[in-house]
Structure 1
Amino acid sequence: MCLNASNVHYACIHSKKCWVVLTQLWVKYGLTQLLVMPLLRLALLIFSFLFWAAGLAIFTLGVWAQASLSDYMLLSANRYPNAPIILLGTGAAVTAWGFLGCLGVAAKLPYLLRAYGFFQLATLMGGLAVSLSGLFYREDIAEGFRSGLKKAVLVYGEDEGHADALDSLQRALECCGAEGWRLGNDSSTVSLPDSCCIKRKGCRNRLLPKSVFSDIELAGIHAYGCFRKVFSLVNDNIFHIAATVLGLAFTQVAGIALACLVKNVHYLIYN
């Protein structure tokens, strides 16, 4: 007897042997095809949707970083690859492959699932490589940023691009200079840009008498240097950054396992 959907429908409507036919269908196709396989496909479909959403979020973050942080990249003495461009490229690739993963599950295309699993593995290895590079070279990155800040302070007024980037950073973090507003100023007076002051009105290139050096708040100047503020911001959020990276890594491992499992089960059933 050839068991298919039409036979089951006919048996259940025109005869009293519906349960017999359903039992035969269960025995022939097994628990794997009737129950486990749909659950696996559903799990992989959910994961692929989450992966697609994560890619869209990364792409959005890249757009924001390109619009908001591009000036800050000028302040680093190190010439690393442009981080916003990396985020944009990664987000676009992850979004595209997340869609292909959903398509592979819905259309039951095992070769697409295989390619999806390989892409997940490549993404996992790339993410771990970038994370480990940032961990191992964090001191070099920090020193490069410190040197860039000091250079921007020294050439302030001579390089418009660096000056604008430094002003944006000082206003955003309420800081002044690389290590503090007084660095390199031992004279009785000092001239500061308006971004160093709490109140911008009347602050630009204001001469400050030495008598107010001991009371920085009275002078209306941001007390801390920008490097300290950035370093503290990173340190305060390092746990959340590490937890996010590890969570994404474990999620990708689960996605790789699901893609391989669905592909192998599909092969066993239909071959």
Structure 2
Amino acid sequence: MKGLGLNLIKYVLFIFNLIFAVSGIGLIIAGSLVLSDVGEFNHFMEGKILAPPVVLIVAGVIVFLVASLGCYGAIKESYYMLMAFAICLLIIFIIEFAVGIAAASFKSEFRVALKNNMKNSMDNYENSKSDKIAWDNLQRKLECCGVDGPTDWKKRPMSCCHALRENAPDPTSDQCRAAQPGDDHLYNYGCFTELEMKAERASKVLIGVGIGVAFIEIIGIILACWMASAVKNKE
């Protein structure tokens, strides 16, 4: 009976680790997608803002490796490997929890830091090639203008304006600079709100994936400790 129970736990843990390995790949994919989406505008963001998706990618790699350890430990019925697996899961869980708390606490600072970075970059638009490229790319891709709106610019760049219809010529630089808020060929929304919303959507993806994997990790710790106990009793 005891042998039957141990075999049942072993195969349950093995199947769990296969699912866990897939979740590690999911972490890598989610982190990479968020990093490519938000990282495109990293010129305006501090390293702290881009750290969570990087941590998620690293965690995904570790999760995949740890899942492999769990599979091997389950098949070999090794008490020490199973306990090492459980401890690794616990460490990963604590790290993810700490990163989540850090990201939540930085949320209020994020708005201030982002807006300050955008304003400083705007002041350097005429004198810095990197700032010019970053602003033109941001305004064209997010269809926005300025930090809070078009009036933020002293000399409004062409990237704030667009053609009124498809295949129509773009407005001239003089027309763009003379345009008033509300004009059809002018992007009338500020880029700060658009960029903040993009970062918010990215954070929700990270939080959702992180919670899901954390739940799987807790189950893994329980199963590993359960099987390790059964192996020890058998010995």
Q: Settle same-fold status: TM greater than 0.5.
A: yes
Give the drift of 1:228: 0.7
Tell me if structure 2 keeps the 8 A contact 1:55–1:95: yes
Mean CA deviation greater in 150-159 or 198-207: 198-207
Q: 2:59 pairs with 79, 90, 107, which one? A: 90
C-alpha distance in structure 2 between counterparts of 1:234 and 1:68, whole Å? 9
C-alpha distance in structure 1 between counterparts of 2:71 and 2:98, whole Å? 27
- What amino acid does structure 2 have at the position aligned with 1:129? A
The question of 1:153 aligning with 2:122 is answered yes
Q: What's the counterpart of residue 186 of structure 2?
A: 221
Q: What's the counterpart of residue 116 of structure 1?
A: 85
Give the drift of 1:159: 2.5
Q: 1:117 to 1:171 in 2, by over 3 A?
A: farther
Residues 96-119 of structure 1 deviation map (CA, whole Å, 9 limit, x = unaligned): 112221122122222111111111
Give the drift of 1:191: 2.6
C-alpha distance in structure 1 between counterparts of 2:204 and 2:60, whole Å? 23
Please list every run of 5 or more consecutive structure 1 residues that lacks an aligned counterpart in the other structure. 1-29
C-alpha distance in structure 1 between counterparts of 2:221 and 2:104, whole Å? 25
Give the drift of 1:91: 2.4
Q: What's the counterpart of residue 15 of structure 1?
A: none
C-alpha distance in structure 1 between counterparts of 2:211 and 2:146, whole Å? 35
Q: 2:161 pairs with 189, 194, 197, which one? A: 197
Q: What's the counterpart of residue 55 of structure 1?
A: 24
Give the drift of 1:133: 1.0
Alignment of 1:14-33 (within 5 A): 30=1, 32-33=2-3
C-alpha distance in structure 2 between counterparts of 1:111 and 1:75, whole Å? 48
SS for the counterpart of 2:150 is: coil
Tell me if structure 1 keeps the 8 A contact 2:89–2:221: yes
C-alpha distance in structure 1 between counterparts of 2:214 and 2:55, whole Å? 18
SS for the counterpart of 1:163 is: helix
Higher relative contact order (CA 8 A, sep 6+): 2
C-alpha distance in structure 2 between counterparts of 1:163 and 1:184, whole Å? 13
Q: What's the counterpart of residue 183 of structure 1?
A: 152
Q: 1:113 to 1:172 in 2, by over 3 A?
A: farther
Residues 155-175 of structure 1 deviation map (CA, whole Å, 9 limit, x = unaligned): 124323333333333333222
The question of 1:208 aligning with 2:181 is answered no
C-alpha distance in structure 1 between counterparts of 2:201 and 2:61, whole Å? 29
Q: What's the counterpart of residue 232 of structure 2?
A: 267
Q: 2:41 pairs with 50, 72, 96, which one? A: 72
The two structures have a TM-score, normalised by structure 2, of 0.82
Q: 1:240 to 1:91 in 2, by over 3 A?
A: closer
Q: What's the counterpart of residue 141 of structure 2?
A: 172
Q: What's the counterpart of residue 27 of structure 1?
A: none
Q: 1:214 to 1:102 in 2, by over 3 A?
A: same
Number of residue pairs aligned between Structure 1 and Structure 2: 230
- What amino acid does structure 1 have at the position aligned with 2:222? A
Give the drift of 1:53: 1.6
- What amino acid does structure 2 have at the position aligned with 1:215? G
